[in-house]
Structure 1
Amino acid sequence: MRGDRLGPVLADGAAGTDSATDIVRVIVPPRVEYGLTELGRSLAGPISALREWTEAHINDIERARSARPADRGATP
């Protein structure tokens, strides 16, 4: 994930660093390794359920997309 997009994820508490297990490496450019927090890991179930639903309905989704006019949903 790009650093400029990580701020909201960190602010929501879904990812962060664990200072007890942080590894310091001398590299150029400097980098920070992030991991999921307990809150972030709690998203695994809902995301898995969404993936399973999508897999079960992919044919319906693709049929709906192909039936949609190209300009439908465009903003004026």
Structure 2
Amino acid sequence: MHADNKVLFDLEKKFWQSIVDEDTDTATSLLTEPAFMVSGHGAFKFDHARYRQMAEQGSMVVKSFELSDMDAIYPTPEAAITQTS
């Protein structure tokens, strides 16, 4: 395992926990601006204001999460791409 994987995976878990906790301040502190979200609906680019709007006014509620099979690749020393199941 790459030495930085634990740090990345801990940040990923912290982000998802902020969604469960409805803590948009923590969530936005963990996002770049702009940020990308990739899901079954495709890719979506957004800024902090748009994330806050989605989190505080959206109808989706996340009550818990479980991440497994976490993996990461490092195309450059400054960038990582993570994947979870």
What TM-score results when the alignment is normalised by the length of structure 2? Answer: 0.24
Q: Rg larger in 1 or in 2?
A: 1
* Structure having the larger proportion of residues in strand: 2
* Structure having the larger proportion of residues in helix: 1
What TM-score results when the alignment is normalised by the length of structure 1? Answer: 0.26
